[in-house]
Amino acid sequence: MKKTKAFFILICFLLSVDQIFAQQTPQYTQWSSHQFALNPAHAGIKPCLDVHSLYRAQWVGFEGAPKSGFLTFSAPIKSPRRKYLSARQGFGLRFESDQIGQFTTSRFNIAYAGHFNFSADTRLSLGLYGGMIQMGYDPSNTVTLQPDPSISKEASFISPDATFGAWWNGKNYYVGLVMQNLIPAKWELGLDSKYRFHALINGGYRIRMNEKTTLLPAVLLKIPPRGPVAADLQIMLDYGNKLNFGVGYRNTDALLFFAGFKINQRFAVQYSFDATLSAVRNGSNNSHEIAISFSTCKPLNTSTSSCPLFE
């Protein structure tokens, strides 16, 4: 009963404050390993087929707590290159689903990106997501003290969606910029709210400890239109491009822990756990993510530390 009551208060709060970041865009702990899911500039950045999938169960224990996930596909566009440093192109597809309580949001996007090398080690990538968002409301599990016709009708609507992304990387560092919800469509569910513009800035650096061990500190800043900036700080230890372990901190509510491994350098499995620090922990059992990815890129030389973000 306490969990249900707490979740009802949470839903009311989210619906009444439409500038909250988490209300409109799902968050992922493993963002640094799935850059294309955030940034369309990563479409075709690798010279091979790249497939990623992830499922997140947030605040386990709350009835109707957020459940999110995505499936992405990315590949380069084959074209003759007249010069070594001439531009390359890529395309990709992304499907994302986010459910919280009676509200479900689905996004389908097609991505295009151009990659411009300024030297053998530095690259600028620019990309665009274009597609649609479907948002629905299902009142079948809604219980009120008195009948309320305003929330008893099922509703759904579709609106256009667009995201711009930029990416710059050198031999041992990267910086990314994402501008989401470029089309501020109004919610057609009887609510006075709309999709608002959000910005993301992230960056990371590779520190080679020895031939097999690499440290990868990274940061993600999530900037809503009107509200506090949310920051994810992470550091990952990679061994031989086969095993990785990491910890992190989200300034809004959690300590982060994650680990993963690769099979034949093509398949990767990663798990993460969020230990909730905010008052939400009184009614939840924290958050979990599991991800599986596949790449057709040729196996890397594991005698030296490496990272696909910098290739």
> Could you tell me the residue range of the domain that residue 19 belongs to?
2-310
pLDDT band at 103 (very low <50, low <70, confident <90, very high): confident
Tally of domains in the chain: 1
- Of 79, 69, 73, 72, which Cα lies nearest the Cα of 105? 69
Q: What is the pLDDT of residues 133-180, one digit of tens each?
A: 998 887 766 666 666 666 667 778 899 999 999 999 999 999 999 999
Give phi and psi for 57, each to the nearest 5.
Answer: -110, 110
| CATH number where 38 lies | 2.40.160.40
Q: What is the pLDDT of residues 261-286, one digit of tens each?
A: 999 889 999 999 999 887 776 666 78
- Of 74, 70, 72, 71, which Cα lies nearest the Cα of 43? 74
The pLDDT value recorded for residue 304 is 46
- Of 6, 16, 140, 25, which Cα lies nearest the Cα of 63? 6
String of DSSP letters for 191-220:
-S-B---EEEEEEEE-EE-SSSEEEEEEEE
How much is the pTM?
0.84
What is the distance between the alpha carbons of residues 261 and 270, in angstroms, rounded to a whole number?
Answer: 7
What is the distance between the alpha carbons of residues 204 and 108, in angstroms, rounded to a whole number?
Answer: 28
- Tell me 266's DSSP state: T
What is the distance between the alpha carbons of residues 183 and 164, in angstroms, rounded to a whole number?
Answer: 11
What is the distance between the alpha carbons of residues 90 and 179, in angstroms, rounded to a whole number?
Answer: 19
